[in-house]
Amino acid sequence: MSQFDVLNVAQTRGSVVAVNKVLKNTYMLLGMTLGFSALMAFVSTNAAPMNIWMYIIGVYGLLFATHALARSAWGLLTIFAFAGFIGYGTGPLIGALMATSGGSEIVTTALGGTAFIFFGLSGYALVSRKDFSFLSGFITAGCFVLIAAMILGIFLQIPALQLAISVGFMLFASAIILYQTGEIVNGGETNYILATITLFVSIYNLFMSLIHLLTAFGGDE
């Protein structure tokens, strides 16, 4: 084996080790943030619903802070603050739903569906090791379409539009899970904090979209 071949093997091994480290740290942090978010949701189950504008400002403020601080230890603090805030804000909604007839079944089904979709898509990306960068255009376009649909939804209280938005968010979140996992596997994403918050938001969107769809079709809206 030539010196050039030895160097290539060493670089390949180093790349694999780096990718595995990012994967390990990402899924470990994702598990902890999801657990913390679930705990805060449980704590706030009987709390009064949070003001919608306060919730929006808090979510996007902490999201921006996490992205800005992702390359420092402060990023760990902000991502847990983000996850906890999301959980605390969602708790009253889950509590109200659980108090309705069939509400616990809806929440359980949504949790199971979210887990199935996430692990299925992540597993496919991990096993196939495909490059899903081609989804970047769809993700960008989908972001603008969903924002426009949400703005319309505020002024036009059309049930069909609300359901379409939920389906759109499910497709959008699924594409992001494939894209982000593919980026980690192929070495395109090396920051596990950024990878974690992207996957966390996708899982949250999947869960809430399923909640909305199951509630609508269950006849509880």
Residue 100 has pLDDT above 60, yes or no: yes
Q: Per residue, what are the HEC states of 83-101? A: HHHHHHHHHHHHHHHHCCC
Q: How far is CA 23 from the centre of its chain?
A: 16
Rounded Cα distance, 110 and 204, in Å = 11
Structure tokens at 168: 């759109």
Residue 54 has pLDDT above 70, yes or no: yes
Rounded Cα distance, 173 and 201, in Å = 8
Q: How far is CA 216 from the centre of its chain?
A: 22
pLDDT band with cut points at 50, 70 and 90 for residue 7: very low
Range with lowest mean pLDDT among 4-13, 72-81, 104-113, 120-129: 4-13
The C-alpha angle with vertex 52 and arms to 149 and 202, in degrees rounded to 5, equals 55
Q: Are 78 and 62 in contact (CB under 8 A)?
A: yes
The backbone torsions φ and ψ at residue 206, rounded to the nearest 5 degrees and listed phi first, read -60, -50
Rounded Cα distance, 40 and 43, in Å = 5
Structure tokens at 100: 């309705």
Residue 30 burial class via C-beta count within 10 angstroms: exposed 0-12, middle 13-18, buried 19 and up: buried
> What is residue 219's predicted lDDT score, i.e. its pLDDT?
52
Rounded Cα distance, 98 and 20, in Å = 39
Per-residue buried b or exposed e for 131-165, using 16+ beta carbons within 10 Å of the residue's own CB: ebeebeeeeeebeeebeebeeeeeeeeeeeebbeb
Residue 3 has pLDDT above 90, yes or no: no
SS3 call for 139: helix
pLDDT tens per residue across span 150-164: 888 777 777 777 888
